[in-house]
């Protein structure tokens, strides 16, 4: 998966290089980020801070990707760049560029301020609109003489994507549907739903800033009592006695974060 691959490679870069900066959070998990900071990597969210800091020699582009404008500024700065954009995200970026060149209006499912969406929109001109759900989509004025393409942030909720897709099929002939969802989060979501149906309580482990982990929690909550867990402190007041507990984590959740929760439960309830 792109985010886990980005984290592992960042860790390796930290072992081989000095004066390394992340351009934005490599993944949406502050616990994973803290491990990289411990390795000496610094985190900068503003591009100009990186460009103007002569002590920064190496720059890591996050898994969510960046806009072509920001990428050019980085390259022109003569910094050594490690582009760890998820291949699936890069594919969507290039698709947005291709659709723009072909004069499509692009409708993008996602979160407006999410770095992945900001990066994708950077490959468009003024020919796009970002929607978060079907209600948002219905607000768009669709012109019959224009051609449209419907795409999505790779970690969007597949249920929302499918809902909008069905609405498009029933009402429009000039909107193409391009399924740009990443399969890895979808497989995790399917496994989470299956597990949620079999247990009394689900613990969804990760960072609450993570879009894909939030989607997992929302899905799990539809089937059983669920808790979004970041640390052990989040579950200390929950009584798991005689309960069947399921544990899952998002694409950006490091293994040790899940392991910490699992070990706590074993130690307390299975001595």
Q: Could you tell me the two tokens for 182?
A: 């990443």
Evaluate whether 19 touches 55 at the Cβ level (below 8 Å).
Answer: yes
Evaluate whether 120 touches 70 at the Cβ level (below 8 Å).
Answer: no
Question: Which has the closest alpha carbon to 125: 158, 103, 95?
Answer: 103
d(CA 97, CA 261): 42
d(CA 149, CA 178): 7
Strand partners, 130: 108
116 annotated active-site? yes
Q: Which of 71, 105, 116, 230 is catalytic?
A: 116
- What is the per-residue burial (b if ≥16 Cβ within 10 Å, else e) of 211-234? bbbbbbbebbeebbebbbbbeeee
Helices (runs of H) and strands (runs of E) counted in the chain? 11, 11
Q: Could you list the active site residues?
A: 116
């Amino acid at each position: 998966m792109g985010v886990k691959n980005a984290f592992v490679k960042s860790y390796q870069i930290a072992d081989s290089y000095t004066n390394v900066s992340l351009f934005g959070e490599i993944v949406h998990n502050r616990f994973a980020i803290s491990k990289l900071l411990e390795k000496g990597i610094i985190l900068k969210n503003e591009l100009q801070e990186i460009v103007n800091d002569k002590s920064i020699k190496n720059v890591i582009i996050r898994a969510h990707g960046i806009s072509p404008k920001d990428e050019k500024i980085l390259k022109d700065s003569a910094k050594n760049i490690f582009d760890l954009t998820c291949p699936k995200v890069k594919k969507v970026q290039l698709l947005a560029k291709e659709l723009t060149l072909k004069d499509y209006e692009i409708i993008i499912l996602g979160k407006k301020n999410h770095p992945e969406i900001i990066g994708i929109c950077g490959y468009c001109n003024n020919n796009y609109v970002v929607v978060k759900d079907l209600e948002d989509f219905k607000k768009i004025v669709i012109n019959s003489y224009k051609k449209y393409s419907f795409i999505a942030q790779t970690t969007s909720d597949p249920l929302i994507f499918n809902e909008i897709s069905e609405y498009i099929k029933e009402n429009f002939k000039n909107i193409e549907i391009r399924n740009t969802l990443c399969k890895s989060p979808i497989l995790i979501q399917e496994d989470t739903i299956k597990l949620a149906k079999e247990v009394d309580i689900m613990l969804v482990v990760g960072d609450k800033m993570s879009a894909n982990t939030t989607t997992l929690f929302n899905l799990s909550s539809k089937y059983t009592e669920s808790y979004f867990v970041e640390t052990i402190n989040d579950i200390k007041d929950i009584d798991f006695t005689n309960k069947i507990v399921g544990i899952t984590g998002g694409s950006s959740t490091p293994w040790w974060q899940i392991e910490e929760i699992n070990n706590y439960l074993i130690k307390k309830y299975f001595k």
